[in-house]
Amino acid sequence: MDEFKNASDILPSLQMVADQFRLWISAKEKSLKKAPAGRLRISRRKNQMQWFHVTKGTTEHGKYIPVKDVARAKALAQKEYDQKVLPEMKRQLSAVESFMKKFLPCNFEKMYVDLHEGRRKLVEPVAVPDETFVEQWNSSVYEGKSFDEGIPEIRTLRGERVRSKSEAMIADTLYRLKIPYKYESPLVINGGVKKQKKTIKIYPDFTCLNVRLRHEFIWEHFGMMDDVTYSSQVAWKINCFESNGFFPGKNLIMSMESAEVPLDATKVEKIAKQYLL
């Protein structure tokens, strides 16, 4: 039954599919509002296609569209295509949303929680309850990156030491939203270039858990983007992440700032809610 414990892993992918359908639907609806009135009629004459614009003010054959006015023919053709595809998009979105609502691995968690305490100790559940899952996720012991002497002490609401006020802002937002996170938990990745493989240990700023989806994200904050040397290091680090299967939106969150564009608390909260709740 180990496979079922990861059943909810499909939910992030389904959510991405649903989000894509919403974008398509919105774009098609906007396009149809701007589309010209009437419809397109196409006729073949001597192996050539001819276009006609049929409206209320024309006959059923419509008004001839010359080649130089191909943009109008395209707009009419696009309109008729959008009118056909839009209902299907909405149907597909509805199907995905319906499945996501009905697909509830948490029902199995409730069955386990509702058992008598004595029975729970004897049973191996097919799905671990959220509280137990978070407790297990937090239980791993790790040694974070050390701090050099002379660096100012900046503390979070949780009492841990971080390296900047921006990191404290992110940590405090996660803490306030009750999003489990680990600060500078080590991660071993391949940091080599080209065909050379070199295993290195890095310390991502935050390793966060979306409890609802049981999906882990790395959150990296890049705080000195106006520094050329620092920006070059950021480019290298992002390349390393992607080479090791970490991609923005999938399992990697990135925030940036510079002297002229400081980190904004409102933006931090939006990012946290978008990916981690």
Q: Read off the DSSP letter of residue 3.
A: G
Q: Which two tokens stand for residue 124?
A: 């191996």
Q: Is residue 259 part of a domain?
A: yes
Residues 268 and 152 both lie in one domain: yes
Reference 212, options 158, 271, 273, 125; nearest CA is: 273
* pLDDT of res. 150: 87
Q: Which domain holds residue 182?
A: 144-276
Q: How many domains does the chain have?
A: 2
* pLDDT of res. 273: 96
CB distance 237 to 229 below 8 Å: no
Residues 62 and 169 both lie in one domain: no
Residues 73 and 157 both lie in one domain: no
| Per-residue exposure over 243-275, b if at least 16 CB sit within 10 Å of its own CB, e if not | eeebeeeebbbbbebeeeeebeeeebbebbeeb
CB distance 218 to 204 below 8 Å: yes
Residues 154 and 267 both lie in one domain: yes
Reference 206, options 156, 267, 243, 244; nearest CA is: 156
Taking the C-alpha atoms of residue 232 and residue 236, their distance in angstroms, rounded to an integer, is 6
Q: Are strands 252-256 and 215-222 parallel, antiparallel or unpaired?
A: parallel
Q: Is residue 122 part of a domain?
A: no
* pLDDT of res. 3: 42
Residues 157 and 266 both lie in one domain: yes
Taking the C-alpha atoms of residue 54 and residue 60, their distance in angstroms, rounded to an integer, is 6
* pLDDT of res. 120: 82
Last residue of a domain, one of 40, 74, 102: 102
pLDDT along the chain (277 residues), means of 10: 54 89 96 95 89 92 94 95 97 94 78 86 80 88 92 94 96 98 94 68 96 92 93 92 93 95 95 95
Taking the C-alpha atoms of residue 247 and residue 218, their distance in angstroms, rounded to an integer, is 10
Residues 86 and 166 both lie in one domain: no
Amino acid (1-letter code) at residue 210: N
Q: Is residue 128 part of a domain?
A: no
Last residue of a domain, one of 43, 69, 102: 102
* CATH code at position 207: 3.40.1350
Give, in degrees to the nearest 5, the angle at Cα 130 between 118 and 244.
130
Residues 154 and 228 both lie in one domain: yes
Residues 169 and 91 both lie in one domain: no
CB distance 144 to 185 below 8 Å: yes
Last residue of a domain, one of 77, 102, 127: 102
- State the DSSP string of 53-108: EE-TTS-TT-EEE-GGGHHHHHHHHHHHHHHHHHHHHHHHHHHHHHHHHH--THHH
Q: Is residue 169 part of a domain?
A: yes
Residues 150 and 248 both lie in one domain: yes
